Chains A and B, each alone.
Chain A
């Protein structure tokens, strides 16, 4: 016998890291930097973010003690930026998790019970998708007053309908596959079937949707805070800083420039990452 097959490729024992496109690496670096800043905000900020320094009001950026300048009350812009990144990211993370949890649960309920429950869930999803979220959020927030837990909870309603639709569709198709039926035949409770068996199988798709919803939540929260109806002083968020920095647009544009740039770069970075994860994990979602 003549061996016609080409020589077996020599195996390399080097660990091959997936090669990331430049934009994705940059986006990853930015997101990691933001997370580090949010986690260690207290250590990073040179001043307290509410500390007044009335002698140094509206100082332009570049001073060694106030790298990004100060605002109209002499508060350090860099310290406020760091605190804002923490709050804005915390809200966006919390809201994304809540929304994924609500949406997935409702989607599973719809898939499990079908019938009336399914119709109600789908109707609510249609309703949520057809109403502008900002308008509904505005009414709820202002009338319930403003508190951070309420804001996070409200933002946690953003995008739930997308998870619900995805989870319902995937759970229905998973239910007809062998493994779910097998576990059910073995006597597993519905909670166990959905939580331990179906959820892990559809998790990647849900995580992809989370990375796509996350930047929208950041934008929505910063918009609300910009209008003065989101995060309330003395707390600060990125949208807040832009909102009051606007009063000093001509005299001290640096107050709103750094939070604006942070919002844009963060949403951009997470969107790039989300698109990349989607394309590499689940090309069917396009």
Chain B
């Protein structure tokens, strides 16, 4: 058990290191931020001063070591635009993003999992086909198209809901629905196939052969076993709470982390982009780690396998 978990923690740390390096290499070597910020007409001495003040004139590996050291001190650089600490800029956007993604996650789980279970228990019927058709539609309609269609219907035609902005909770309805519907479709598909897999297992036949009522067999044997793959996908969704709303926030002009990222990317604001990348990586890695731990408890075979030298 201990070996299983420490292996997971080691891999999580490795992922974080990879992200830090990726962010650093890509963002530093791709372009000269001094020219982008100051413009090509800036005098050479101004550019030189700017490069010196940002440490851009050091060799790349010195910049890297400085960067990693700064992360350990909790310094993630300052926005090159207004000089404020990047982490502050990002942090003040997080509540707005969570105000969308948390309710959307709840919506996905509330619709997706019951729909998937329901469809699997009525396999091949009209109910099943309807749920699956909805699930396929939810996957193939990109969120910006769904969002704009909802705006066209509920804002433009009916005039019931605002099309963008963040003034009241009413403004959050359309973005939340847009994200929730697509995610619910994915979750329904996953849950259904996980349930079908379990329902075909011999232990389900044994359960009914020994006279267990079907409803109890479902509750005691099918649902806990189908939970394992479903936990994975929910864990992935938890990992995207911070960054999963890039497109939807743009559609609805919602001032969250996603919008900040798009703006920072078009402004080539290195520090802010790095900060968001790191934050996203950290949330992804943490939620993956949580899923792994949950696995270890839900399915002791996995941890036992690791101890025996398996996966």
Residues of chain B contacted by A144 (CB below 8 angstroms): 26, 30-31
Interface string of A126-140 (1 = CB under 8 A from B): 110011101110111
> Bound complex: CA of A145 vs CA of B266, how far in Å?
9
A267 sits at the interface (CB 8 A): yes
> Bound complex: CA of A233 vs CA of B299, how far in Å?
52
Q: How far is the CB of B160 from chain A (nearest CB, A)?
A: 15
Interface residues of A in 240-261 (CB under 8 A from B): 242-243, 246, 249-250, 253, 256, 260
> Closest residue to A142 on the B side, CB-wise?
B265
A229 sits at the interface (CB 8 A): yes
CB within 8 A of B268: which of A132, A143, A215?
A143
Stretch with Cβ within 8 A of A (4 or more), from B48-56, B63-71, B208-216, B280-288? B280-288
Does B31 lie within 8 Å of A131, measured CB to CB?
no
Binding site for B on A (CB under 8 A): 123-124, 126-127, 130-132, 134-136, 138-145, 215, 219, 222-223, 226-229, 239, 242-243, 246, 249-250, 253, 256, 260, 263-264, 267-268, 271-272, 286
Interchain residue pairs with CB less than 8 A apart (15): A127-B18, A131-B280, A132-B244, A135-B280, A138-B246, A138-B262, A139-B26, A226-B144, A227-B246, A227-B250, A228-B262, A242-B144, A249-B148, A253-B156, A264-B142
Residues of chain B contacted by A228 (CB below 8 angstroms): 262, 266
> Bound complex: CA of A239 vs CA of B143, how far in Å?
12
Q: How far is the CB of B25 from chain A (nearest CB, A)?
A: 10
Does B280 lie within 8 Å of A132, measured CB to CB?
yes
Does B261 lie within 8 Å of A138, measured CB to CB?
yes
Closest 3 A-B residue pairs measured CB to CB? A142-B265, A143-B30, A268-B140
> Bound complex: CA of A127 vs CA of B144, how far in Å?
27
B151 sits at the interface (CB 8 A): yes
Residues of chain B contacted by A223 (CB below 8 angstroms): 142-144, 247
> Closest residue to B281 on the A side, CB-wise?
A131
Range for the number of chain B residues in contact with chain A: 35 or more
> Bound complex: CA of A264 vs CA of B149, how far in Å?
12
Interface residues of B in 213-265 (CB under 8 A from A): 239-240, 243-244, 246-247, 250-251, 261-262, 265
Interface residues of B in 121-147 (CB under 8 A from A): 136-137, 139-145
A253-B288 contact, Cβ under 8 Å, with A132-B280, A228-B266, A271-B136: no
Does B27 lie within 8 Å of A143, measured CB to CB?
yes
> Closest residue to A275 on the B side, CB-wise?
B136
Does A242 lie within 8 Å of B136, measured CB to CB?
no
> Bound complex: CA of A145 vs CA of B148, how far in Å?
28
> Closest residue to B31 on the A side, CB-wise?
A143
Residues of chain B contacted by A131 (CB below 8 angstroms): 19, 280-281, 284
Residues of chain A contacted by B141 (CB below 8 angstroms): 264
**Sample of 14 further A-B pairs with CB below 8 A, known A136-B277, A139-B23, A219-B140:** A123-B14, A130-B288, A139-B26, A141-B265, A142-B266, A143-B27, A143-B265, A143-B273, A227-B247, A229-B262, A239-B144, A246-B148, A271-B140, A286-B193
